[in-house]
Amino acid sequence: MVDRRGFFKVGAALLGSYVPLFTDRSAWSVSNPSDRLDRIGIQLYSLRRELANDFEGTLARVAEIGYAEVEFAGYYDRTPAQVKAALARTGLGAPSAHVPIPSLRESWARTLDEARTMGHRYLIVPWIPDDERATADGMARVAELFQKAGAEAQASGLRLGFHNHDVDFLPIGGQGAKAPFDILLEKTDPGHVTFELDLYWITKAGRDPLAYFARYPGRFELVHVKDSGGPPEHRMVDVGRGTIDFRRIFARRREAGIHHVFVEHDDPPDPLGFARASYTYLRGLEF
């Protein structure tokens, strides 16, 4: 199995992909904004083997299921222009892409240029290296990097964001120490850096998403919707077949600032079956 950390170590080469001007579009129906998701996306990492075997065919099947948006984690040896053309043929939007943290340091201007070609609005860093996350000083430097890169993204009409894992909620140091995730929230400007809250990983870490919505309103413009079979294993399952109360979470969507939702499973045994079942559940969810 290819884990996300390994994917991005290999994938520092995929560096580019992102957007015209960021617009404040909600993921909720305009005609009935208070009770149902109107636009549902999927993180394509969940379908990475299918995409590697049949890129355009897999995108077409995603659209046939009913998804309106996708979030990329690599372009499978295709140029941004080729991917954009494939999306146009399926009618899918791609508001967001994951990029490895070295792209912020080594090729950020090019990454932003390619992102505009793709039509993304967000670039999301999905992982902070262990050695940088290990100390408060290291996290302060990461926050400084995010601030600078986020300001440059904003000047280009884009948004920089960070996606969490459970380790990002482990306090650094002794009693009373802060977690890396909290350090990033406190040391970055909301105008420069947003967050993609992974609802599975925050749950596995024993934290409550609603507490973060209340403490940092408007900071979570994107969410990953993945479900947990519950403790102690927290096995990932199809969305709606686990223990996470998505109705409770989405009822606070405006406080959180959510604009985009992406279904995800790190290693589903039946990826397209997972995509279909999860979409069906979310499309019928009322809150």
Closest C-alpha to 5, from 113, 120, 167: 167
Instruction: Give the pLDDT of residue 175.
Output: 64
Cβ-contact 254, 238 below 8 angstroms: no
Closest C-alpha to 218, from 182, 247, 259: 259
CA distance 261 to 208: 18
Note the helical H segments in 91-172.
Answer: 102-106, 108-118, 130-133, 136-155
Per-residue pLDDT of the chain (287 residues; tens, 9 = 90+): 334 444 443 343 333 333 322 233 445 444 444 578 989 999 999 999 999 999 999 999 999 999 999 999 999 999 989 999 999 999 999 999 999 999 999 999 999 999 999 999 999 999 999 999 999 999 999 999 999 999 999 999 999 999 999 999 999 986 678 999 999 999 999 999 999 999 999 999 999 999 999 999 999 999 999 999 999 999 999 999 999 999 999 999 999 999 999 999 999 999 999 999 999 999 999 99
Instruction: Give the pLDDT of residue 13.
Output: 35
97 pairs with which residues across the strands? 72, 123
CA distance 42 to 265: 9
CATH superfamily of 4-284: Divalent-metal-dependent TIM barrel enzymes (3.20.20.150)
Instruction: Give the pLDDT of residue 27.
Output: 55
Instruction: Give the pLDDT of residue 35.
Output: 79
CA distance 250 to 236: 20
Instruction: Give the pLDDT of residue 34.
Output: 54
Reported pTM: 0.89
CA distance 257 to 101: 24
Residue ranges per structural domain of the chain: 4-284
Task: Give SS3 for 94.
Answer: strand
